[in-house]
Amino acid sequence: MQVSIADKLAQERRARLAAERLLEQKKTELFAANQKLALHARSLSDQIVEQRHGLERARATAESLMGENHKVRGDLELANSAVQIAQRRLWEALETIRDGFAVFDANLRLVAANRAYLAFFEGQVAVTVGVSYAAVLKLVAQHGMFDLEGRDPLDWHHEMVARIRRSKIEPKVLRQANGRYLRLIDRWGDDGDLVCLVQDITKTMAREAELEKARADAEAANRAKSAFLANMSHEIRTPMNGVVGMADLLCETALTEDQRLYAETIKSSGEALLTIINEVLDYSKIEADKLRLYPEEFDLERCLHEVMLLLGPSARDKGLKLLVDYDMFLPTRFVADPGRMRQVMTNLIGNAVKFTPAGHVLARVVGLDRGNGQFDLHVTVEDTGIGIATDNIEHVFGEFNQVESASNRKFEGTGLGLAISRQLVELMGGTVWVDSELGHGSCFGFKVTLPVAEPREVIDGPTPPITLSAALVIDDLMVNRVILERQLQTYGLAVTLCRSGAEALAALDAGGRFDVVLTDHQMPDMDGLQLVMRLREKGLATPILLLTSNPDVAAIGPVRGELAGLLEKPVLRSDLCRALQEISQPEGAAAAAATPELRQMRVLAAEDNRTNQLVFRKMVKDYDIDLTFASNGREAVDLWQSLHPDLVFMDISMPEMDGREASRQIRAHELVKGLPRTPIVALTAHAMEGDSESILAAGIDYYLTKPLKKSAIAERIRAHCPAGARSAVPEAEIP
């Protein structure tokens, strides 16, 4: 069948359209393929660029690392060189020092040692690197290189090994056979190494031996000096006891004016000599650290007034006024060494009087309550004297110093007073000072902290008022009158002072009107009890207070019913205030009961020197005591057993048996038989050897230094008078 042209054209057209569609499809596929190819090409290009950059970075890093490697290698070489230099310098230094140096490892084997360390063993044993510490010790012991002090070499070896095993190794000194001394100093290091140092201390040991010998020689010289001072003290004080004691007794007898002048000159010259001796001995004891304080209760205000009274004649001769300013709100009784406090104040006030040609000397006492039963006390002494130049103030408390030159010698004295005062105040825990201007006077002062001795009473309510206006005070001692006057004026009373009962009666006859009368108990001519009876006989109804050192009712007798109260001396302000308050009230007075008859006090005195026995007997002749003498210590012990005395005065230096041994035997008898302790007071001319260390150790309670003072003897008798005995000492004898 023939295909028509139209069909052929249609077929061709369909074929062409199919071919066009296929071509179009292929174009689309080619375009998509080209796009993928372009993306792959771009990705490949990016990877190539990135790899190129990474390669460049790797190349740069490699070059940098190569540079750092060169730098590190250079630094390492430099550090190694520095270490070698430091090590070489260290060992050069270790080789330079004279001390031996060695290092052992944790297994105690020698790692390194300098030549000085190895030289200690040279010629004896071979010590090389690697040798053990124990082996070195064994070789040293076997070769006898060191003094083993008699020990077995094996034992010594074990001791030395045990020493080195301790965590903390103590230094060890060894003596070589050639006489040289070595000190071993060993220490464990942080890494377990043992570091050893060996020092040659032969010269040091020689110097120490020399110093020890010098110290022994100095101590021997000091002991010789102390013995010399003690012996000189004894040799001087023994005859001076007779001189001063007899002169004192001579002054109490009937003498012409010339005789009294001679006797008083002997006494004052002897006391001046003793003052110089005491200052030198006190300074020697301070220098040897042998001075001791003996604290006890005492009245500071009274002590100050006693010093003023003692220096009164010297001040009056120069026309000086002695003034006391004692804080009225300050207690008067404290705990301290009263003798040393008096010595300090006497030195300060005495110097002020000595160096003050005109004007006054003022002693001022103020204090601050610390709230714990103690007071900070400030004591100052002001004068209108010559003053001290600024250049000399620093030296005024030095030894043997005075404001005047030694060539002038215008003022007498050793120049030790202020030096001793400073030492005493510092021994009490205080301080001293001085303010002065040349030509315008001086102010010396010291500060101490002391316990108060006056009881503190809690006041629950208002205290009764004191309504009294005027008081009459009778006392034969000026210091007592002045203290009472100041105390009474504190409470607003006008005070009239009398020295005797006769003056008091005259004051009343002259029209005097008083709200209270205060009289001393023991007075010459007319005692306090006699005065009370005379006042009552005159019809005086005024309340009377009796001041007494013996408040025992039996000593007062029937007069007790005429009294408004008894005040024990020294009078405390609190007791005086309470008595005045009671008198101000209607029920102020009270009666006392009587007691049985009392016996005489028994006193035994052991003294081998006949002159001293005579002096002692004369000093106590007016006392109400039964006195017996023993000529030596053995006789004193026998008399003590038979007499049973209330008080024993015991001389220290006596033949056959001295006072110390006699006191020991008395104490032994008391202990065995269960007897009460008898008070023993030593009498000694020694000022150093006879101090408390040996005297008190023998069982002695107190000691008095010769030359004896009547007042000191009276004070001891009064203090130890038993309750069953009469009052032995007249009040007038107690300063």
> What one-character DSSP code corresponds to residue 452?
B
In a domain, 266, yes or no: no
In a domain, 219, yes or no: no
**Crossing angle for the helix pair 300-318 and 338-354, to the nearest 10 degrees:** 20
pLDDT per residue as tens digits for the range 392-424:
777 677 544 454 444 334 444 445 678 878 888
In a domain, 253, yes or no: no
* CATH code where residue 318 lies: 3.30.565.10
* CATH code where residue 121 lies: 3.30.450
In a domain, 421, yes or no: yes
pLDDT per residue as tens digits for the range 325-369:
788 778 888 999 887 888 889 889 988 998 899 888 888 899 999
Tell how many helices (H) and how many strands (E) occur in the chain.
20, 22
In a domain, 628, yes or no: yes
406 with 499, same domain?
no
The residue to which tokens 């020991």 are assigned? 664
Torsion angle of alpha carbons 15, 17, 20, 25, nearest 10°?
-100
The parent domain of residue 552 ranges over 470-584
Read off the pLDDT band of 535 (50, 70, 90): very high
382 with 512, same domain?
no
Backbone angles phi, psi at 679, to 5 degrees: -65, 130
- Is the pLDDT at 25 greater than 80? The verdict is yes
Beta strand 601-606 with 680-684 is: unpaired
Instruction: Give the mean pLDDT of 706-714.
Output: 83
The residue from 164, 181, 200 where one domain ends is: 200
Instruction: Give the mean pLDDT of 113-140.
Output: 79
Strands (E), 553-600: 565-568
Does residue 371 or residue 430 have the better pLDDT?
A: 430
In a domain, 247, yes or no: no
323 with 434, same domain?
yes
28 with 62, same domain?
yes
Tokens of 262: 């001679």
CA distance 414 to 532: 50
- Is the pLDDT at 636 greater than 90? The verdict is yes
334 with 476, same domain?
no
CA distance 112 to 36: 80
404 with 372, same domain?
yes
pLDDT per residue as tens digits for the range 445-473:
999 999 998 765 544 445 678 889 999 99
373 with 520, same domain?
no
CA distance 154 to 137: 10
CB 340 within 8 A of CB 424: yes
Residue 345's alpha-carbon distances to 276, 420, 421, 470, 670, in angstroms, are 17, 12, 8, 33, 41
25 with 128, same domain?
no
> What one-character DSSP code corresponds to residue 627?
E
558 with 636, same domain?
no
What percent of the chain is predicted at pLDDT more than 70?
83
Q: How far apart are the first and last CA of the chain?
A: 186
520 CB burial (10 A radius; 0-12, 13-18, 19+): buried
pLDDT per residue as tens digits for the range 10-23:
888 888 888 888 88
pLDDT per residue as tens digits for the range 215-265:
888 888 877 776 676 666 666 766 777 777 788 788 878 888 778 877 877
Residue 627's alpha-carbon distances to 554, 619, 630, 655, 704, in angstroms, are 23, 12, 10, 21, 18
* CATH code where residue 721 lies: 3.40.50.2300
CA distance 418 to 407: 20
* Angle, alpha carbons 712-299-713 (nearest 5°): 10
Domain count, the chain: 5
535 with 682, same domain?
no
Predicted pLDDT of residue 594? 41
Helix (H) / strand (E) element for 224: namely: helix 202-251
CA distance 422 to 411: 20
pLDDT per residue as tens digits for the range 271-287:
767 666 666 666 666 55
Predicted pLDDT of residue 237? 67
Average pLDDT of the chain, as a whole number = 80
CA distance 474 to 513: 15
Q: Which of 177, 417, 155 is nearest to 276 (CA)?
A: 417
The residue from 530, 558, 584 where one domain ends is: 584
402 with 422, same domain?
yes
CB 377 within 8 A of CB 436: no
In a domain, 235, yes or no: no
444 with 478, same domain?
no
The residue from 32, 59, 90 where one domain ends is: 90
Instruction: Give the mean pLDDT of 613-620.
Output: 86
Instruction: Give the mean pLDDT of 60-72.
Output: 76
Predicted pLDDT of residue 733? 55
Residue type, 261: L
CA distance 450 to 295: 10
Beta strand 194-200 with 360-369 is: unpaired
Predicted pLDDT of residue 94? 66
Q: In 428-551, which ranges are continuous DSSP H helix?
A: 478-490, 501-509, 528-537
The 10 Å Cβ neighbour count of residue 397 is 19
CA distance 474 to 497: 6
Residue 464: asked if its preceding bond is cis (omega within 30°), the reply is no
In a domain, 360, yes or no: yes
**Crossing angle for the helix pair 573-584 and 478-490, to the nearest 10 degrees:** 60
